[in-house]
Structure 1
Amino acid sequence: MKTLLNLIWFIFGGFVLALGYYLAGIVCCALIITIPWGIASFRIGSYALWPFGRTIVDRGGRVGAFSTLGNVIWLLVAGIWIAIGHVATAITMAMTIVGIPLAIANLKLIPVSLMPLGKEIVPTDRLLAGYGR
């Protein structure tokens, strides 16, 4: 089922969404000082390409002051606008019954788009097997 949902997601928005995150990653990496956000954009882009069967978890104690500061800067500069875009897209997708799972996946992208540093994207079966215990 997750493969079918990923294919539908890919066709109806995932590809374009991932391209946007990849483009932002390229720009951030080209500016040198914003490389951490570029790496985070690539990570979010891969999640935006195939969201079903994966989830976002906090890295826990491995997050430092620089990640927190970076998240605050990201939130103010880009995160809030990206989150608004995800909410608007989710509302549009939820207008059909087939689009409801896609809307939920779009809403799952909001936490990582708001605060991307200090997050990890893991397969859901790895999470169920005891990741983070």
Structure 2
Amino acid sequence: MSIIGNIIWIIFGGLFIFFEYLIAGLLMCFTIVGIPFGIKIMQLSILGLAPFGQKVEYNDHAGGCLSIILNVIWIFIGGLWIALTHLVFALIFAITIIGIPFAAQHVKLAGFALTPFGKSIR
């Protein structure tokens, strides 16, 4: 089921989300300060391409000082805009019954896009 879900996901917006993350990650990697953000966004791009069958889990150090500082900086740099994109897609997909699983994935990705540090993809 996850393969079929991922194929449909790619067709109906997953490729757009993937490239949004990929471009943001490459732009962040241009500066030395932005490299940690760029690496995390590259991980997000893979999750944005195929989210079905993958889980987002908190790390042991999720509430640590560095994770919190990086999340606050990330919210102002680009996390808010990417999370809003996911929420718009979730509202669009939630209109139909068939789109509800895709809306749920977009809500999951919105939470991860807003505060990615301290979380990992499994």
TM-score normalized by structure 1?
A: 0.85
Correspondence for 2:14: 14
Report the RMSD for the aligned CA atoms in angstroms.
1.4
**Aligned positions of 1:1-133 closer than 5 A:** 1-61=1-61, 64-122=64-122
1:9 Cα shift? Answer: 0.2
Unaligned residue ranges in structure 1 (runs of 5+): 123-133
1:88 Cα shift? Answer: 1.1
**What is the rounded CA distance, in whole Å, between the counterparts of 1:63 and 1:91 in structure 2?**
30
**What is the rounded CA distance, in whole Å, between the counterparts of 2:85 and 2:5 in structure 1?**
21
**What is the rounded CA distance, in whole Å, between the counterparts of 2:18 and 2:78 in structure 1?**
16
Residue by residue, what CA displacement relative to the aligned partner does 1:20-48 show, whole Å, maximum 9, x if unpaired? 10111111111221111101100011001
1:63 Cα shift? Answer: 6.0
Give the partner amino acid of 2:101: P
Give the partner amino acid of 1:39: I
1:77 Cα shift? Answer: 2.6
Provide the secondary structure at the position in 2 that maps to 1:30. coil
Residue by residue, what CA displacement relative to the aligned partner does 1:45-90 show, whole Å, maximum 9, x if unpaired? 1001000000100111376422221111111232222222211110
Provide the secondary structure at the position in 2 that maps to 1:96. coil
**What is the rounded CA distance, in whole Å, between the counterparts of 1:27 and 1:7 in structure 2?**
27
Unaligned residue ranges in structure 2 (runs of 5+): none
Provide the secondary structure at the position in 2 that maps to 1:9. helix
Question: Identity, % of aligned pairs?
Answer: 39
**What is the rounded CA distance, in whole Å, between the counterparts of 1:24 and 1:77 in structure 2?**
10
**What is the rounded CA distance, in whole Å, between the counterparts of 1:110 and 1:15 in structure 2?**
16
